[in-house]
Chain A
Amino acid sequence: MISGIRKGRIPYQKISCIVVILSLIFVFYVRLFGSSDEVTAIRAGYIITVTKDTIENGTIIVRDGLIESVGVDVVIPAGCYVINADTMYVYPGFIDAHSSVAISTSAKSSSVTGPQGVEGSIQPVESLTPHRLAADMLNPKDSKIKKVRESGVTTVLTIPDRGIFIGQSALINLNDGTGEEMILKSPVAMHLGYTRSSGKYPSTLMGVIAFQRQTFYDAKHYKLIRDRYKKHKRGIKRPTQNKALDALNLVLNGSMPMIVNVNKENEIKRALRLSEEFNVKFILSGVVEGWRVADLLRNYEMPLIVSLNFPKPEDVTGYSFKLKVEGPEKSEKSDKDKEKEETEEEKEIYSNPSVLSSKGLKLAFTFRGINKPEDFRKNIIKAVKHGMSKEEALKAITINPAEIFGVEDQIGSIEEGKIANLVIMTADFFDEKSTVKYVFVDGKRFEIEKPKKKKKSGNEADVDVSGTWDATVSSPDGDVSVKIIFKASGEELTGTFSSEFGSAEIYDGSISGNQIEFSVKLSVGGQEFEMVFTGQVEGNTIDGTVDLGVMGSARWKAIKPNIV
């Protein structure tokens, strides 16, 4: 056809009309029954490649899940699904460097026996699961996947949120396939956390730290024994295999990186001390108070995963130092002056990414903890307002995490041959009014609809907890049976808590979504003490933690018996 036009045999205008009409019909057809196997062409106003210069008015061709070509002079093949994004901006799909999206909450894996010590005090330790693979725990039906993807995030490093020796993360593409289809790389890294158990060892932070150290020593000793046994078996007692310690030795010998959850100044310092004790270089993740120890981190010379879930000033270490002289305003007074002005403390917090970046450290961002996935962009804009360069900020959600996790050959920038993970936005990323129009994951196109206006009723309770519940509180001394009668009206929760120690009215009760919270004061042994219950409601069961103040904490479970 083209050669026909060239040779002048068919009138140009007639041909182009037919072409246009045909392609319109084709496009219309494709729009209704779009298939991911189709070759797609994106004509974009701006293509931000990240690794090379930005291309204006260029085209990207996506075929077989990959970026076939990108450039200004790219020819659009026949029969392509074309997206005319002439005024829009295309970015590489964003990467959240530390998430728990698509992790199935019900997955349980067998834990291994913990530190041996004096008999009578050994308990199987739930948190010793470094051998656990996130890839085995995926839930491709997790509703969060869609929400996160719609903000432009196409890839996440995923691992459960809580635990100590949590397991090995997987890098997943947020397509809508099966678990296996999502996995880009597994395992990626081993994860270390500081979650305290309730009612089980270790229940204090110092217990967690001792447990971490002991487990590393266990792993080292295990390796000595195993290595020796490999060479000499005669006369030596056969060592038992321990999956957890096998996995941990991958970190100790440097073959797998370890990512540690730390945010506050002291937490960062503790992780650095542990790193020194066992000669392992950790990747620190979170680091919201990194600015307080920026020089320490600069000398540490490792990449950082920086959280954009900025803390409130009163939660930052050192806030109380200011109380010793002139104190800050008491919160009720601050209603008067609606804080449009940022305080000094807030400025420091938002400058965290810029301070760390200026020390020459490679940063990747994570949005863990931010409630609305689309808010991560607001916080990146804040970080840029407080000194971070736009280029560095973009790299932190694209090529940097790709490099840190060893997948820079596959994702992290818009280059020929890489996986077609792309985000098309209506305006520049740093423009607050910009929205995400399309997201491509593994070449599959997702069109983002405008969000419907939410009803003004706020977080309505998903479940009605009103009624009588049989509950059990599991404490170090054993289980206690209690009866709880809840009365829920909207978000407010009242009711009665009855146990062998008497009844009491519950107070400070609320039910929001499926999160339940309430408090009870009991008089036991002449002492009054207050218990704060929190938990998650799932159907007819509630599972959660109860804070007993100085007595520590415990787990509790409740079931609503079906009354026939």
Chain B
Amino acid sequence: MIKRMARKGGSFYFLIFSIMITIPLFAQLKIEGKGPDLVIKNATIMTVTNGTIDGGSIWIHNGKIKGVGKQIKTPRDVRIIDATGYYVIPGIIDSHSHMGIEGGINEATGQVTPEVSIQDVIRHDDISFQRALAGGVTAINTLHGSANVIGGRNAVIKLKFGKPAEELFIPGAKESIKFALGENPKKSNIPITRGQRKFPASRMGIEYTIREAFTKAKEYLRKWDEYEMKRKGKIKLTKWEKTAGLIPPKRDLRLEALADILRGRLDIICHAYRADEMLMIMRLGDEIGFKVGSFEHCLEGYRIADEIASHGVVASIFADSWAYKMEAFDAIPYNAAILHERGVLVTCNSDSPERVRRLFQEAAKTIKYGGLSETEALRTITINPAIRLGIDNRCGSIEVGKDADLAIFNGHPFSIYSRVEMTIIEGEIYFDITRAKTTEKVVEGLVKD
């Protein structure tokens, strides 16, 4: 390649090129020493929950953080990463993704399909995981789509790219059923036929669909309760039941999922844009007896921040994406600021394999639009999603005892000029820019393309 350039481009280009490739562009994170444990030395550590430590170290042992601080004692035989000039933040958590799913993300053939589960169809060799790791993301909440009113169960997984699918799940994570309100389930933007839309074709019908589904679920619960009571002898059996014997009601996976929402075992992750539809489902929840766990996108959340706060719903938002649909036309990038100010827990999500690679940029936008502090902005992509997903006991901040899920930047994570150079999950390095196949290496012929 160099020869070709020399011939065609003349010696001028050749000179420039050869100078360029000899200048190392960035300092490199090198690992030195031997030992089972890993120590990251002399970095600016943004712990999220305990402030920022300058010139601090992190000691990782058995996949957990064993020590964090300015001066920590570590064993003799450790591998050391000299991170002078680098910033370490907790591994980024994306609370709304559709990566790693095999065989379709929307069971859109019916409006109510909570029996399906993303956990059954995780595709662990999805190359998007690697792209996300290169953006510092260590865990994602991967979801059913929003094509129907009541979709399926989520999966909360760590991006341990290279490990088999069953090892990705995070034990103890909250399980949710995906709900969707608004334009997507009523299919208003896909007029494949004229005048032949199925029910529900309006937000009115969507409300009814949810109401009806839970009514049937309550009926299902009642039948099972009755059976249990009869079995335990608390209710008298009928004459015929005494002779023939008792049979449990048929197990219905669909109604069971809805019943589990009523019983609080599953929560609702609700795709919603418009303020009125969010109020609708909160009201319905109060009436029927369910709680909404989070509003996904929540673009008009700023209009009803107090109501969202009092209902305890998490706002899982886009930082500034808007205008692609009618219901997204009144979205404002100051959404996070108003919600946060009124006491709502805010998380910045991606819902995209492109945005997931730069969630730190999205978090920085909450500083720009409305003035969240640096720590508050960092929380939206670390501890806040961890709390939402029920994994904050082990992820989301750099604290002793938590999983060693870390992202190492070569500058302040909110500076546009910084990039992720290493991503660690449970003490294992899953992304290392010095060993990854980069474009520069391909261009220089160091790797085969």
Contact = CB atoms under 8 A, between A and B. Distances in A.
Given A117-B254, A123-B110, A231-B244, A478 B190 contact: no
Interface string A322-348: 011111111001000000000000000
B152 interface: yes
A117 B102 contact: no
B53 interface: no
A328 B126 CA distance: 16
B127 interface: yes
Interface string B249-264: 0111111001000000
Interface string A524-539: 1101000000000000
B254 A206 contact: no
Interface in A115-150: 115-121, 123
A38 B255 CA distance: 65
B232 interface: no
A201 interface: yes
Interface stretch (A157-165, A211-219, A362-370, A446-454): A211-219
A118 B130 contact: no
Interface in A524-564: 524-525, 527, 550-552
B189 A327 contact: no
Contact of A206 (B117, B125, B162, B244): B117
B122 A115 contact: no
A232 B246 CA distance: 12
B253 A217 contact: yes
Contact of A120 (B191, B209, B254): B209
Interface string A346-363: 000000000000000000
Nearest to A201: B109
Contacts of A235: 238-240, 243-244
A203 B244 contact: no
Interface stretch (B58-66, B196-204, B266-274, B295-303): B196-204
Interface stretch (A264-272, A374-382, A398-406, A414-422): A264-272
B36 interface: no
Contact of A236 (B120, B162, B197, B240): B240
B76 interface: no
B384 to A, nearest CB: 28
Nearest to B253: A214
A209 B14 CA distance: 59
B196 A478 contact: yes
B410 interface: no
B161 A269 contact: no
Contacts of B244: 228, 231-232, 234-236
Contacts of A524: 190-192
A115 B254 contact: yes
A206 B243 CA distance: 41
B166 interface: yes
A19 interface: no
B165 A269 contact: yes
Contacts of A475: 192-193
B108 A206 contact: no
Contacts of A333: 448-449
Interface in B190-239: 190-194, 196-199, 209, 212-213, 216, 238-239
Contact of A196 (B104, B115, B120): B104
A232 B243 contact: yes
B103 A205 contact: yes
B288 interface: no
Contacts of A205: 102-104, 120-121
Contacts of A210: 113, 115-117, 120, 152, 253
Interface stretch (A72-80, A178-186, A252-260, A312-320): A312-320
Interface in B300-322: none
A65 to B, nearest CB: 46
A200 B109 CA distance: 6
Residue of B110, B112, B117, B194 contacting most chain A CB atoms (<10 Å): B110
Interface in A258-290: 265-266, 269-270
A121 B162 CA distance: 39
A82 interface: no
B447 to A, nearest CB: 5
B354 to A, nearest CB: 15
A217 B250 contact: yes
B365 interface: no
B35 interface: no
B164 A323 contact: no
B194 to A, nearest CB: 7
A480 interface: yes
Nearest to B449: A330
Nearest to B251: A217
A328 B191 CA distance: 43
Q: On chain A, which size bracket covers the interface?
A: 35 or more
B105 interface: yes
B257 to A, nearest CB: 9
Given A202-B107, A204-B106, A323 B240 contact: no
A207 B107 contact: yes
Contact of B127 (A270, A323, A527): A323
Contacts of A121: 110-113
Nearest to B243: A232
Contacts of B240: 232, 234-236
Contacts of B116: 202, 204, 206-207, 209-210
Nearest to A554: B192
A231 B152 CA distance: 40
A210 B114 CA distance: 9
Nearest to A207: B107
Given A204-B105, A473-B192, A228 B247 contact: yes
A244 to B, nearest CB: 15
A513 interface: no
A224 B245 CA distance: 11
Contacts of A119: 212, 216
Contacts of B254: 115, 117-118, 214
A467 to B, nearest CB: 25
Interface string A228-260: 100110111000000000000000000000000
A470 interface: no
A321 interface: yes
B313 to A, nearest CB: 24
Given A204-B103, A206-B117, A325 B187 contact: no
B118 interface: yes
Given A210-B116, A476-B109, A477-B192, A326 B437 contact: yes
Contacts of A232: 240, 243-245
Contact of B193 (A328, A477, A552): A477
Contacts of A479: 193, 196
A174 B228 CA distance: 56
A550 B247 CA distance: 43
B443 interface: no
B79 interface: no
Contacts of A500: 194
A480 B121 contact: no
A118 B253 contact: no
Contacts of B187: 477
Contacts of B239: 235
A123 B109 contact: yes
A477 B449 contact: no
A187 interface: no
B437 A323 contact: yes
4 closest Cβ pairs, A-B complex? A205-B103, A235-B240, A204-B104, A121-B110
9 contacts: A117-B255, A118-B112, A120-B212, A197-B109, A204-B106, A234-B244, A235-B239, A477-B190, A550-B145
Given A115-B252, A329-B449, 16 more contacts: A201-B109, A204-B116, A214-B115, A217-B250, A228-B244, A231-B244, A232-B243, A234-B244, A235-B238, A235-B244, A269-B166, A324-B436, A324-B437, A478-B196, A550-B106, A551-B190
